[in-house]
């Protein structure tokens, strides 16, 4: 990865943004997951990015999870409802998740564009002096 550093670095960015999209996808998939009030609600996942250890690119430093408290919703018809008729829904904000999704998508595409541009640059360097 020494000659093509730009490509490798952008590759780490693509990886991080793919994981971010995975996390958002997980959150959106579970946004309507009801649980018993005695159980913890689904915890939203938030990917934390950090600079790579070798200083080349980025990496996922860890995943922060949201609160397991959730929102208590009165749904007596839900089979998971407790004696008072309440169930728990995860505390996930749909609009902020969609915003994160768009940011992850744009960042993913930006890194892919870096790869394309770097490849074009390297290819034109190889054409040097060929007229």
Q: Site mask, another protein, residues 91-130, x = CB under 8 A? A: ---------------------x--x---x--xx--x--x-
Q: Which of 5, 39, 51, 69 binds another protein (CB under 8 A)?
A: 5
**Is residue 63 at the binding interface for another protein, with CB under 8 A as the rule?**
no
Sign of CA dihedral 15, 17, 23, 26: negative
Q: Which one of the spans 11-19, 32-40, 59-67, 77-85 is the region binding another protein (CB under 8 A)? A: 11-19
Instruction: Copy the structure tokens of residue 123.
Output: 């290819």
Q: Which helix (H) or strand (E) holds 72?
A: strand 71-74
| Residue 31 zone, left/alpha/beta (φ > 0; ψ -120 to 50; rest) | alpha
Number of residues that bind another protein (CB under 8 A): 18
At which residue do the structure tokens 């159980």 appear? Answer: 39
Does the protein bind another protein through residue 3 (CB under 8 A)? yes
Instruction: Assess contact for 37 and 88: CB atoms under 8 A.
Output: yes
Which residues of this protein are in contact with another protein, per CB under 8 A?
A: 1-5, 7-8, 11, 14-15, 18, 112, 115, 119, 122-123, 126, 129
């Amino acid at each position: 990865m020494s000659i093509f550093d730009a490509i490798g670095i952008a590759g780490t960015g693509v990886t991080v943004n793919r994981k971010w999209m995975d996390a958002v996808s997980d959150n959106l998939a579970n946004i309507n997951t009801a649980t018993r009030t005695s159980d913890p609600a689904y915890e939203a996942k938030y990917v934390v990015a950090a600079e790579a250890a070798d200083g080349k690119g980025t990496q996922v430093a860890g995943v922060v999870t949201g609160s397991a408290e959730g929102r208590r919703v009165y749904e007596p018809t839900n089979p998971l409802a407790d004696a008072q008729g309440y169930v728990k829904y995860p505390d996930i904000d749909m609009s902020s998740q969609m915003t994160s999704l768009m940011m992850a998508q744009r960042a993913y595409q930006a890194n892919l564009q870096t790869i394309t541009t770097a490849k074009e640059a390297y290819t034109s360097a190889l054409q040097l002096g060929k007229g």
